[in-house]
Amino acid sequence: MITTTTRQHTLRSHLPGRPTIRAASTVEHQAMLASRLTARDKWLLALLHEHRVLTSSQIRDATFPSGRSARQRLRDLYLWRALSRFQPFQQLGSAPMHYVLGPAGAAVLAAEHGLEVKDLGYRHDRAMGIAHNQRLAHTIGVNNFFTSLIAHTRHTPTAQAALVAWWSESRCARHFGDLVIPDAYGRWRTRHDNTARTVEWFLEFDTGTESLTKVGRKLAGYARLAESTGIATPVLVWLPTSRREAGARAALARVHAQLDDPRAVPVATAAADLLDPATPHPSPADSVWLPLASTRTDHAGPRYRLADLTNAWPGLTPPTDPTTEHGEPQARDLAAATPYRLPPPNPIPPPATPNRLTRGQR
């Protein structure tokens, strides 16, 4: 027999310690966040604004030293409404928690740049709408490609490599959307014997749902972009399996051979199942990339590391200085960003803020 009852309004109340959306927008709440948000927290807010959604494991790999520290900090940011989260349905097991920019986090970003929240184009319902978007798996896959590169840099200090630019699909669409819309744009810089090398690329992330013919037809758009800009930028196609890669290379080779200037569109492919699971932090920086031959017959050659791909295209003009003072690649400043759009965040996360000193330790 039920001897006690719970009032209905108690069931509807928000989580203890978590303010309502309206309370999170008040001056008092923003003042509280000013004393608690670190540089790494604000970097994460900007990253989520740019790339929409990241899983807890991606955030951990990109910037936290351990899963425990990531869970604790993400919980705090969630309770402060700097972040919002959801957990998509998964038939077997449990999916990781997915994080998006929260209303308080959007207010912090806007205030940092002297803007109103509405000027960011942010709405909480739209941010959470990615939970039901059919492209959620694709977006998570693209973001995992780049966060694994960031993790490769963090956990392999001897590599002398870093991801210095990472543009989202929406930013690429604003710059190149009249010709082609890449899934992302990136730059990878390595240093060896005081010599820096940089490779840039447009990413085409394939999940296996598109027809291979459609994958090949995308090269025509990149050829038009190269013709209009005079810049030959490699196109990297990431596929789920080696079998899928073999079929995609055949489709790509047919279209590539028919381009007016195939050398203006360098192409390389790789498959996720080529990554060695025995390595501590496998990533697309490993030796998994196979350039596409410029002839009609595609002869398979050696696999390249991401940093060495420029060796496969000797005539490729090296990129200019990777970033300007705002982090925007100079060679890609082809169209002015729309007003009130933030610059892309630096992919390199800031160091963790040391713990506060107590009065006796000062």
Which comes out higher in pLDDT, residue 16 or 198?
198
- In the chain, % of residues over pLDDT 90: 68
Position 7 scores a pLDDT of 53
Instruction: Record the pTM.
Output: 0.88
Q: What pLDDT was estimated at residue 293?
A: 80
CB 204 within 8 Å of CB 236: yes
Q: Are 84 and 48 in contact (CB under 8 A)?
A: no
- For residue 324, give every residue at least 6 positions away whose Cβ sits within 8 Å of its Cβ, in sequence order, or none: 330, 333
- pLDDT tens per residue across span 169-226: 999 999 999 999 999 999 999 987 777 889 999 999 999 998 989 989 999 999 999 9
Residue 13's pLDDT band (boundaries 50, 70, 90)? Answer: very low
In the CATH scheme, what architecture does the domain 17-133 have?
Orthogonal Bundle (1.10)
Rounded Cα gap, residues 155 and 142, in angstroms: 20
Segments making up each domain of the chain, as ranges: 17-133, 135-352
Q: For the chain, what is the mean pLDDT?
A: 86
Is the pLDDT at 157 greater than 70? The verdict is no
Phi-psi region of 114 (alpha: psi -120 to 50; beta: other; left: phi over 0): left
Q: Is the pLDDT of residue 1 over 90?
A: no
- Distances in Å between the Cα of 220 and the Cα atoms of 198, 246, 252, 260 are 25, 20, 10, 10
pLDDT, tens digit, 9 for 90 and up, residues 242-267: 999 999 999 999 999 999 999 999 99
Is the pLDDT at 115 greater than 50? The verdict is yes
